[in-house]
Amino acid sequence: MQFLNGITLLLVYQLVGEVTVRLLGVPIPGPVLGMVMLFITLWIRGSTPESVETASTGLLSHLSLLFVPAGVGMMAHFSRIADEWLPITLALLLSTIITMVATALVMQVTTWWLVGSAANEEQNHE
């Protein structure tokens, strides 16, 4: 029952998010807005209900699975990708590497500058 209640709540937030995004005409996906709203709710409430935690852990523990159907969509674009495989492969690969390296370094350096070494102590992994 906990899982069911949790899933229902997540769907309600997604639904409210989707409706709000459409009403306001903002270019943000409904689930992202739903996430922000759920975050604010948890913040105001001061704790996570067990039902939401159960559902969230269940969904997030196999997040990769959820991308598989979209990945299979690759087969519908084989010819297009084959036509311009070189710019696609190089731009995608290099840009992803550059983005990841730059972002990680900026985050590390700004944390040192702005927050200090206190933020860099050994993290406790749950």
Partner 1 sequence: MNDPGLKDIWVYLSASPLLGLTITLVAYGLAYRLYLRTNSNPLANPVVTSVAMLIGLLLLTGTSYNDYFEGGQFVHFLLGPATVALAVPLYQQFSRLRQLWMPVTISLLCGVVIAAGSSIWLARIFGGSFEIQMSLAPKSATAPVAMGISEKIGGLPSLTAVLVVITGITGAVLGTKLFEWIRVKDDTAKGIAMGVAAHGIGTARAFQVSNQMGAFSGLAMALSAFATALLVPWLVDLLEAWIPA
**Stretch 59-98 residues interacting with partner 1 (CB under 8 A):** 59-77, 80-81, 84, 86-88, 90-98
Position 19 contacts partner 1 (CB under 8 A): no
Q: Is 27 in the site for partner 1 (CB under 8 A)?
A: yes
Query: Counting contacts by CB under 8 A, is residue 51 touching partner 1?
Result: no
Q: Which is nearer to partner 1, 1 or 114 (CB)?
A: 114
Residues 104-123 that bind partner 1 (CB under 8 A): 104-108, 110-111, 113-115, 119-120, 123
Query: What are the C-alpha distances in Å from 38 to residues 56, 60, 70?
Result: 12, 15, 26
1 vs 25, which CB is nearer to partner 1?
Answer: 25
Q: Please, what's the largest Cα pairwise distance for the chain?
A: 53
3-state secondary structure 26-76: CCCCHHHHHHHHHHHHHHHHCCCCHHHHHHHHHHHHCHHHHHHHHHHHHHH
